[in-house]
Amino acid sequence: MDYFEINGLKKLNGIINVSGAKNAVLPLMAAAILNKGSLKISNVPQLSDSITMSRLLEEMGGKVKFNSDNSISLDTSELNKPFAPYDLVKTMRASFYVLGPLIARFGEAKVSLPGGCAWGPRPVDFHLSGLEALGVKISIENGYVVANGKNLIGSEIHFPKISVGATGNVLMAAIVAKGTTTINNAASEPEIQQLCEILNQMGANISGIGSNTLVIEGVDNLDLVSNVSVIPDRIEAGTFLIAAAASGEEVEVVNIIPTHLDSVIDCLKEANINVIIKKNSIIIKSSKNDILPTNIETSEYPGFPTDLQAQWMALMCLAKGTSTIKENIYFDRFTHIMELNRLGCNIKLEDSVAIIEGDKSLVGADVMSTDIRASAALIIAALSAKGVTKISRVYHIDRGYDKIEEKLTTIGAEIFRKK
């Protein structure tokens, strides 16, 4: 099984590129079910999750080809099996995105309850209740969601809590429902915005994009869309910005949309990191000795992303003083604490608040990845640690980062993938 070996205390300098967004490409691939034809998706990150979604579409009768120019060619004209088996859905929660478009296209679907990262329960209740509000009859049978929705009817839907996945799933069903659907407390993440935009290109009628209230006027038919380019991955970009703050001298993170990172930029500035914002890039100038403790709380977009919580924690272990992180999205998303402490960090957990005693001299050790973003946090800490760190179970990071070791090597990191 692959692992990373990292030689720490190497200064990072140079330019690092950001790939397309994992959290955008997966719902776009699911939306291809509605396209009923050929669709080319460009700027696709080479991730195991993208491969899993492609296998799922092929299992249902679609055709998928990965091209050498970081694009995917999809043809769903002959997709004819509204069934998503456990073997594929168990490995990636985003596979559940196929439920809404399958119902919209076929009026029925059978989709396995999802798996994915090992930390904590993330129930699909909001997905199901939202679809039921549209008139879908749902039952749970032997670990599968069995859905029947031949005659979808627009409805007023209010999510008790903002959910990116539920917003996307309900959207993709509601666009063909008769009448008007209003989704209150909807997710406004850039990835959901792009999904709305591509659905509108297909002929959907969605308004309120970028807000927490989406209004969908149902349509009878959808048009064929032939091309879409995935937005840059703001979580990968944030990871590189934090890595540069922790170990860098001057690093430019390029091919990004800076406004997607406003909350992260604000926190970096508060932590005494020099941030220079350009049109499509951000330059970080950092001295490891001058990082200030900064208290944060995770929140739905445009707040500080939960997917950068672990990485920020690694940075705060180097800050001069005590900082706190309150996790408001997934209350048990703290499996990385024990592994960071193995590297010399001093982190304690009280309820859903991590208390980080900074200004520590980190030392390399053998650690283990527990999920995608925890893996990134361990890399950031290892880059700042004296000696050698070995990170096992890096298949987690391969689900969310496109060749991260190669990218970090280009700016001076000594990180090696080994077997």
Distance CA(278)–CA(263), nearest Å, equals 16
Distance CA(183)–CA(205), nearest Å, equals 13
Which strands sit side by side in the sheet containing 72-75, from one edge to the other? 63-66, 72-75, 38-42, 227-229
Fill in the DSSP letter of residue 235: H
CA-nearest of 401, 244, 375, 362 to 8 is 362
Confirm whether 117 is a catalytic residue: yes
Q: Are 108 and 126 in contact (CB under 8 A)?
A: no
The identity of residue 4, as a single letter, is F
CA-nearest of 94, 81, 90, 105 to 32 is 105
Distance CA(233)–CA(190), nearest Å, equals 10
Q: Which of 117, 196, 267, 317 is catalytic?
A: 117
Distances (CA, A) of 244 to 49, 262, 277, 287, 316: 26, 17, 14, 10, 13
CA-nearest of 275, 104, 234, 276 to 177 is 104
Residues 6+ apart with CB under 8 A from 52: 88, 91, 92, 95
Residues 6+ apart with CB under 8 A from 175: 34, 104, 199, 202, 204, 205, 206, 216, 218, 219, 222
Residues 6+ apart with CB under 8 A from 408: 12, 16, 243, 379, 383, 415
Q: Are 108 and 173 in contact (CB under 8 A)?
A: no
Q: Hey, what's the torsion of the CAs at 6, 23, 184, 134, to 10 degrees? A: -140
Q: Alpha-carbon torsion 323, 328, 334, 340, what sign? A: negative
Distance CA(355)–CA(368), nearest Å, equals 21
Q: Hey, what's the torsion of the CAs at 157, 158, 162, 163, to 10 degrees? A: -30
Q: If you write DSSP's letter for every residue of 308-359 in order, what string do you get?
A: GHHHHHHHHTTSSSEEEEE--SSTT--THHHHHHHTT-EEEEETTEEEEE--
Would you please indicate which residues are annotated as catalytic (active-site) residues?
Answer: 117
